[in-house]
Amino acid sequence: MKSKRVIFFAAFIAAVAVVAALIYGYLQMSKERAADTEADKPIAAKSKVSLNDAGEAVVTVDEAAQKLIALKVGPPAAAQLAPEIKAYGHVVDPAILSAAIADFQTAHAAADASQKELERITTLTGQNNASARTLEAAQSAAARDSAQADLAKTRLAGTWGKAIVERDNLRGFVESLASGESALVRLDLPAGDILKTEPSGARVIALGDETNSIEAAYLNAVPSIDPQAQGQRFLFLVEHNSAKLIPGGAVVGYLKISGVTQSGVVLPRDAVVRFNGRAWIYLQTGAQTFTRREVPLEWPVAEGWFVTRAVKADDRVVITGAQMLLSEEQKYQIQMGD
């Protein structure tokens, strides 16, 4: 009888343990399901992104998160920029210029040789050591070669301008271009943009390389007009080609012109983010709020972008961490979409 009681008691304890285990497992599963359900809920109640009255996105980030992503905010630097006009062009292939210069130099050398021969024959004729016919032939050759040299000079000047024709040491000039030590750049203004005075110089930027502008000296206007573009064309010389401009490469140029200096601010490059094909910055509009604003990027400078609109010198711009704010904004949109 006693053994039966022991067996019954042991069975009872085992049953209780099983029930307790089932209850514990159920409770744990309920907690996990509750956590999953909570995670799947829209986060509108604790939203980090909203829209202001102007329709601009506003991201809310608490101070702890700001420190975590090393967010840095500061006013943009006030700046002034001499007036410029934007143009597009390319780096001239020195082989094309070299061929034109070679024709000019060959014709010029032939004219010099003919002139020296004429002088020699003239001296001999005066000494009765050359016939009148020989003198006439020398005179004819000298006149012909001189005309050819003048024509070659006219062609070269008509294509490239006087600054090329009248340059000292043309051979050394072409060799410098061929080696890449210097670069010749042609910049074309859009049709309808007319400069009444010559530019004083230009800043040149290889297309797609906004971080590296290089100074170029003005040579002259290209005498001919492109029949398709119908815009003024100018030649500039990059004397020290530190940007490694390549012949045929597309460039953007900012021609320095006379006029009133513009006032604005400079945005650091890291402050600018790209989204939907446009450029944006984040402005701190509260202790924990940052507003995304579109900015026009018209004038690249060494420190970033010079702008005259959308941003003021007393604005607080996110200098470091703008990309993190954009990522946070996009992450929120994805969560809301789900």
Q: pLDDT tens digit string along 296-306?
A: 988 888 888 99
- Where does residue 81 rank: exposed (0-12), middle (13-18), buried (19+ CB within 10 A)? middle
Q: Which residue has the tokens 């604790």?
A: 46
CB 223 within 8 A of CB 201: no
List the one residue out of 267, 280, 270 whose CA is nearest residue 312: 267
pLDDT digits (tens, 9 = 90+) for 158-196: 888 888 888 888 889 989 999 999 999 999 998 878 888
Point out which residues pair with 259 in neighbouring strands: none
pLDDT digits (tens, 9 = 90+) for 94-129: 998 888 888 888 999 999 999 999 899 899 888 888
Query: What does the DSSP 8-state code read for residue 91?
Result: E
Query: What does the DSSP 8-state code read for residue 53?
Result: T
Instruction: Please enumerate in sequence order all residues whose Cβ is within 8 A of that of 98, keeping only pairs 6 or more positions apart, or say none.
Output: 174, 177, 178
d(CA 21, CA 182): 83
CB 255 within 8 A of CB 81: no
pLDDT digits (tens, 9 = 90+) for 52-104: 888 888 999 988 888 988 999 999 999 988 888 999 999 999 998 888 888 88
Q: Where are the domains of the chain?
A: 1-41, 44-82+262-337, 84-92+182-256, 94-165
- Distances in Å between the Cα of 218 and the Cα atoms of 175, 184, 221, 229, 322 are 20, 10, 9, 21, 39
| Residue of 315 and 13 predicted with greater confidence | 315
Instruction: Please enumerate in sequence order all residues whose Cβ is within 8 A of that of 301, keeping only pairs 6 or more positions apart, or say none.
Output: 79, 81, 213, 266
Instruction: Please enumerate in sequence order all residues whose Cβ is within 8 A of that of 68, keeping only pairs 6 or more positions apart, or say none.
Output: none
Helix H segments across the chain?
Answer: 2-40, 63-68, 94-126, 132-160, 162-165, 170-179, 322-337
Count of CB atoms situated within 10 Å of the CB of 280: 20
d(CA 96, CA 44): 65
Query: What does the DSSP 8-state code read for residue 260?
Result: P
Phi and psi torsions of 133, nearest 5°: -65, -40
pLDDT digits (tens, 9 = 90+) for 17-43: 555 555 555 556 655 565 455 444 443
Q: Of the CATH numbers 2.40.420.20, 1.10.530.10, 3.30.465.10, 2.20.25.240, which one belongs to the domain with range 44-82+262-337?
A: 2.40.420.20
Whether 84-92+182-256 shares its CATH topology with 94-165 is answered: no
Instruction: Report domain 84-92+182-256's class.
Output: mainly beta
List the one residue out of 227, 235, 97 whose CA is nearest residue 171: 97
d(CA 61, CA 282): 12
Q: What is the pLDDT of residue 26?
A: 56
Instruction: Please enumerate in sequence order all residues whose Cβ is within 8 A of that of 153, keeping only pairs 6 or more positions apart, or say none.
Output: 104, 107, 108, 165
Whether CATH 1.10.287 fits 94-165: yes
Count of CB atoms situated within 10 Å of the CB of 267: 24
pTM to 2 decimal places: 0.69
Give the pair of three-digit tokens for residue 311: 């941003």
Q: What is the pLDDT of residue 45?
A: 37
